[in-house]
Structure 1
Amino acid sequence: MLTFQTPPTLQLSFAPKQSPQIAFSSKNASLALQNSNNNQLIQSLCKQGNLKQALRILPNESKPTQQTYEFLILSCIGRNSLSDGLDVHRHIVENGFDQDPFLATKLINMYSHFNSIDNARYVFDKTRERTVFVWNALIRALALAGRGEEALSLYGQMNQNGIPSDRFTYPYILKACVSSSYSSISLLHKVKEIHGHILRHGFESHVHVATTLVDVYARYGYVAQAAQLFDEMPERNVVSWSAMIACYAKNGRPSEALELFREMIAKTQSDVPNSVTMVSVLQACAALAALGQVKLMHGYVLRRGLDSILPVINALVSTYAKCGCLEIALRVFDRMNRRDVVSWNSMISGYGLHGFGVEAVQVFRRMIGSGISPSSITFVSVLGACSHIGLVDEGKKLFKSMVSQHGIFPSAEHYACLVDLLGRAGRLEEAIRIIEEMRIEPGPTVWGSLLGACRIHCNVELAERATHRLIKLEPTNAGNYVLLADTYAEAKKWDEVSRVKKLLEAQGLQKVPGCSWIEIKKKIYSFISVDEINSQIEQLHALLVQLVMEMKEKGYVPETKFVLYELDQSEKEQIVLGHSEKLAVAFGLINTSKGETIRISKNLRLCEDCHSFTKFVTKFTERDILVRDVNRFHHFRDGICSCGDYW
């Protein structure tokens, strides 16, 4: 990267002014000779994209104007030429415009475009008459470059110097919070502090400021604060609506995201959903596995002409796969005129979710063959696909190829995938060796993968070791305690189960309740374990009891080993009978037509008993049932599951 550097004395060295040979049309040459003021010609050439010719004429103009320099700077950005930008900067200094705040702002923006932040900082430091626009320009440059702490420090200096912030300052400084390395607690404190500044200076009603606040709160999971801000906005635009929809979609509240989208359509005529809106809406549909909703949104995308926008089509591929329609996802993928790495990642991930690990690896090979370089996310997807089907050797080869063939150093997430791959296959000792030899500090995802494998294979010793590390890393995650308790329960160590439960209670932590969703006639219904609210609950229970009685005669035995209570068998069976996915299955049987596939999504891993139960149901009722749990899809048909009981 070229760098604009000057000695401390600011004695810049420039080529001597002389009239170069100008190679352009005789008409333009004539104009240049006849008109001593070449400013208009330079600006005209910049508009036409003839930056090189404009720069050749520049030395002939004895009095370049501010507007001429502005055109030249914008043309350097448009032509993506840092070297020409450096030449223009030198000319600005030479002609005494280096203290012009307007041009300083333009130069900082130019260097920001080229990610030449040191040069942007140089312009700022050398400018004495600093307006709020100059401060804003450097704050923006630092924030976009991921140097959030520097931007926040500059904001502090701005306040100390008595420079009043304006409506452009706050969106930039809030973006700086996002790009900083503050902890989530420190970040929330900083955002609230800036929020206070916004309120004190009366900018809370400005749509861009309020929208950025919504987005920042949403990014870190503060949904209540984001929703309150959104509700209080006197004016909204498509960006505001999109930010709030994304907030719900990305923070585990997909139903609210879809409801807000419907409200947006109903209440606004000018704020038409754009591609950003639709990506978030499709993510919400994917979270609910709501195939009917996806098809409606796909139609909306086609009607609005958004099907030519790559992120939207990528989202459609991913969403159809996550809703259980891999064949439609593949159809959309195959029809794409252009694909990027996200397109391929979506297809690889889709195959992996459905347990087609071999096919996922084949798509990965096709991507490499097409000349697309894999990303970090690509390897998360393909390693996950290998894990779902037990392709241990293939997964290990892919992991090694990250550095050796693609120059991608494994992150904690990649190590977690490898540990999961080995752990699910029962190779726990090998998994722990991987953790011990990691080139980075193992985080919660790595130890969590090991703990999950210990629960599957009932390895109490390693489960205790993993939980010990997890409690230090994420002490408020109740799921880790529950997995340890499950492991103790299978080993029939009831005293230890009781100890873990007391530890949970003492810290005020609660197990995440199982929740399942089912879509019937384009309407989404949700169920929680031991649900007593649904209007059909008695009918559902009656059907479940009848099914269990009939299935027991055919060999079904309820799996109750993970019930964390010392109860008799019949009481344990009553508990597992109330699991949310069983309620959703019963609801689907009652409210769908014969032969119609029942599609369910669940927020947790499918338990062993629900898995066994659903296999029996498909055989008894001759119905296909598709369940997506937190890890993968299970296609149940005629008493068999697509996972081969490996999940």
Structure 2
Amino acid sequence: MNPNGRRGVELMCTGATSNSSWMKQLTSASRQGRHGRVLHLFFTSLRPGDRGAADTHPAAIPTALRACARLGDASSGRLIHGLVLTRFPSLASDAVAATALLDMYAKCGLVASARRVFDEMPRHDDLVAWNALLAGYARHGLPERALTLAIKMRGQGLRPDLVTWNAVVSGFALAGDDQMAGDLVRAMQDDGFQPDVVTWTSLVSGSVLNFHYDRARALFRRMVAAGNRVLPSSATIASILPAFANVTDVKRGKEVHAYAVVTGVEQNLTVSSALVDMYAKCGLVLKAHRLFDKMAERSSVTWNSMIFGLANYGHCQEAIGLFDRMLCDGARPDHLTFTAVLTACSYCGMVELGEGLYRAMKEEHGIEPRLEHYACMVHLLGRAGKVAEAYDFIRAMPLEPDCFVWGALLGACRSHGNVKLAELAASRLRTVEPANAANCLLFSDALASAGRQDDVVKMKRLAKRRRIKKLDGCSWLESP
């Protein structure tokens, strides 16, 4: 085909086919970020009787693959790969199509498949292809392999560019290896590249994801202090906000919010969603709700943050009402949405509604229950005093109960004086979470409530023998 250039596919599409309204719709949808629409148009064209549409537009293949990559839709990507092999075999050796295929697999987490596509490419002098594979390794927890690939790239006469360096730095930052990430930034500078906004955002994001909040805040301050040389982007601001939400540092969170307003990115979807999440987690639910209502567009993350915030701070009816509003607006709930709304049902004692939502989650929305949903249901039944039903629910679970499921049952038994089931739950917890002192305390409280002081003493002796230590009380103190 045309492995030497990156415009092989485009050159095939000149002439009458360039005026195809179908191709124009596909390209327009791609540019607008409507990736689901891209795939709908692409696969509709392949129905029996409509074969000609795709055959006259081989350039649609990379466009459709890029849509799969953005959506993380590996299944559709595999179908398109099969289509390339059977109907457009010449595209397999085209630089544009092969790189799009490689990138799709890498972004979907199928790095082994991405590597096979890379190895089958006729030439390995395309920096874009190297960077796509390298970024796949970095993004999916294999930073050492990304670094090895970057070294190999240089050995084959290709000089890493800023994209290469940023991918490797990001890989180690996401893995929580701050020292290696910092060493790579210095090596990047020695190689003639200055850290840009992507570099800084990767460092900040990696620190936050690994709970290194002090480092994340220090990095953000250094970035802002650099002035116009490197300005935080919407992605940087969205990345740093969780560092304030998790320690309820509202003052500094508000300062970042003010910075987002001044720089004009407050209405960016990822930024506004992160702001809603921060204020909701800090307990400023009304502030979060005002921001939520001002948003022109909302993602499932935004809805979930607001529902969780309302539920966790006692506004359970409002949380359930917001869930209904979400459905009316046509937004698609996910597993976190149902965790949030089931939590709200539990806190306000709405057992029948919670049970109905649990059934609807699978039957109407096609979401398989996870352990967090089972824990919510046990909590819901237990808080309502239906401790025996909660235990029956656990026994019927298709998954092995974890510490949260048994902990919810133990807490319900403590509250409602069911010592027999409390003993069983405590026994299971000692197996799955032997070092957690909170479980011993809950069981001791259940025994004390039942007047079994001798057993309370035995529990304390057992905890002492096993060296189970209760954590000291603490609070966050932030330096000015």
- Do the structures match in fold with TM over 0.5? yes
Query: Which residue identity does 1:462 align to in structure 2?
Result: A
What displacement does 1:335 show?
2.6
Query: Which residue identity does 1:464 align to in structure 2?
Result: S
The corresponding residue for 1:172 is 133
The corresponding residue for 1:151 is 114
The corresponding residue for 1:529 is none
Q: 2:101 aligns with which of 130, 138, 162?
A: 138
Instruction: Please give the secondary structure, in 1, of the residue aligned with 2:246.
Output: helix
The corresponding residue for 1:318 is 277
Inter-CA distance 143–359: structure 2 relative to 1 (3 Å threshold): same
Q: What CA deviation, in whole Å up to 9, does each residue of 1:395-444 have, x standing for no partner?
A: 22322232344343322222222223334455443223222212444455
- Is 1:237 matched up with 2:196? yes
The corresponding residue for 1:645 is none
Contact 1:364 1:382 in 2 (8 A): yes
Query: Which residue identity does 2:405 align to in structure 1?
Result: V
- Is 1:52 matched up with 2:21? yes
- Is 1:195 matched up with 2:195? no
Contact 2:204 2:240 in 1 (8 A): yes
The corresponding residue for 2:238 is 279
Q: 1:377, 1:489 → 2: CA distance?
A: 33
The corresponding residue for 2:338 is 379
What displacement does 1:357 show?
1.4
Query: Which residue identity does 1:208 align to in structure 2?
Result: V
Q: 1:107 aligns with which of 52, 61, 73?
A: 61
Inter-CA distance 200–176: structure 2 relative to 1 (3 Å threshold): closer
Q: 1:329, 1:283 → 2: CA distance?
A: 14
Q: 1:140, 1:219 → 2: CA distance?
A: 19
Instruction: Please give the secondary structure, in 1, of the residue aligned with 2:266.
Output: helix
Q: 1:88, 1:512 → 2: CA distance?
A: 66
Q: 2:242, 2:129 → 1: CA distance?
A: 30
Percent identity at matched positions? 28
Q: 2:161, 2:291 → 1: CA distance?
A: 40
Q: 1:318, 1:258 → 2: CA distance?
A: 18
Q: 1:199, 1:456 → 2: CA distance?
A: 60
Query: Which residue identity does 2:21 align to in structure 1?
Result: K
The corresponding residue for 2:397 is 438
Q: 1:388, 1:495 → 2: CA distance?
A: 33
Gaps of 5+ in 2: 1-12, 32-36, 69-75, 448-454
The corresponding residue for 2:314 is 355
What displacement does 1:224 show?
5.3
Instruction: Please give the secondary structure, in 1, of the residue aligned with 2:228.
Output: coil
The corresponding residue for 1:301 is 260
- Is 1:117 matched up with 2:86? no
Q: 1:204, 1:497 → 2: CA distance?
A: 64
Inter-CA distance 153–407: structure 2 relative to 1 (3 Å threshold): same
Q: Matches of residues 319-358 of structure 1 in structure 2 within 5 Å?
A: 319-358=278-317
Contact 2:175 2:206 in 1 (8 A): no
Contact 1:351 1:357 in 2 (8 A): yes
Q: 2:202, 2:431 → 1: CA distance?
A: 38
Query: Which residue identity does 1:90 align to in structure 2?
Result: D
Q: 2:388, 2:477 → 1: CA distance?
A: 40
The corresponding residue for 1:62 is none
Q: 2:426, 2:91 → 1: CA distance?
A: 62
Q: What CA deviation, in whole Å up to 9, does each residue of 1:442-485 have, x standing for no partner?
A: 455434544565677772331111332456xxxxxx4xx32333
The corresponding residue for 2:168 is 213
TM-score by length of 1: 0.57
Inter-CA distance 74–292: structure 2 relative to 1 (3 Å threshold): same
What displacement does 1:210 show?
3.5
Q: 1:90 aligns with which of 50, 55, 77?
A: 55
Contact 2:407 2:425 in 1 (8 A): no
Q: How many residues are aligned here?
A: 429
The corresponding residue for 2:427 is 464
Gaps of 5+ in 1: 1-38, 56-70, 94-102, 180-186, 472-477, 525-647
What displacement does 1:258 show?
1.9
What displacement does 1:241 show?
1.2
Contact 2:426 2:439 in 1 (8 A): yes
Q: 1:266 aligns with which of 216, 225, 243?
A: 225
The corresponding residue for 1:65 is none
Inter-CA distance 339–209: structure 2 relative to 1 (3 Å threshold): same
The corresponding residue for 1:29 is none
Query: Which residue identity does 1:357 align to in structure 2?
Result: C
Inter-CA distance 213–413: structure 2 relative to 1 (3 Å threshold): farther
Which structure shows the higher helix fraction? 2
Q: 1:230, 1:415 → 2: CA distance?
A: 44
Deviates more, 1:299-308 or 1:218-227: 218-227
Q: Matches of residues 542-581 of structure 1 in structure 2 within 5 Å?
A: none
Contact 2:260 2:266 in 1 (8 A): yes
Q: 1:219, 1:456 → 2: CA distance?
A: 41
Q: What CA deviation, in whole Å up to 9, does each residue of 1:237-261 have, x standing for no partner?
A: 2122112212222222323222211
Query: Which residue identity does 2:394 align to in structure 1?
Result: I
What displacement does 1:196 show?
2.7
Contact 1:142 1:151 in 2 (8 A): yes
Contact 1:144 1:176 in 2 (8 A): no
TM-score by length of 2: 0.74
Instruction: Please give the secondary structure, in 2, of the residue aligned with 1:465.
Output: helix
What displacement does 1:227 show?
5.1
What displacement does 1:316 show?
1.8
Query: Which residue identity does 1:140 align to in structure 2?
Result: D
Query: Which residue identity does 1:144 align to in structure 2?
Result: K
Inter-CA distance 419–274: structure 2 relative to 1 (3 Å threshold): same
Contact 1:454 1:460 in 2 (8 A): no
Q: 1:246, 1:345 → 2: CA distance?
A: 21
The corresponding residue for 2:213 is 254
Inter-CA distance 353–131: structure 2 relative to 1 (3 Å threshold): same
What displacement does 1:329 show?
1.6
- Is 1:484 matched up with 2:445? no
Instruction: Please give the secondary structure, in 2, of the residue aligned with 1:269.
Output: helix
Structure whose CA Rg is larger: 1
Q: 2:248 aligns with which of 277, 289, 296?
A: 289
Instruction: Please give the secondary structure, in 2, of the residue aligned with 1:394.
Output: helix
Q: 2:93, 2:14 → 1: CA distance?
A: 28
Contact 1:73 1:107 in 2 (8 A): no
Instruction: Please give the secondary structure, in 2, of the residue aligned with 1:288.
Output: coil
What displacement does 1:264 show?
0.6
Inter-CA distance 217–467: structure 2 relative to 1 (3 Å threshold): farther
Q: RMSD of the alignment, in Å? A: 4.0
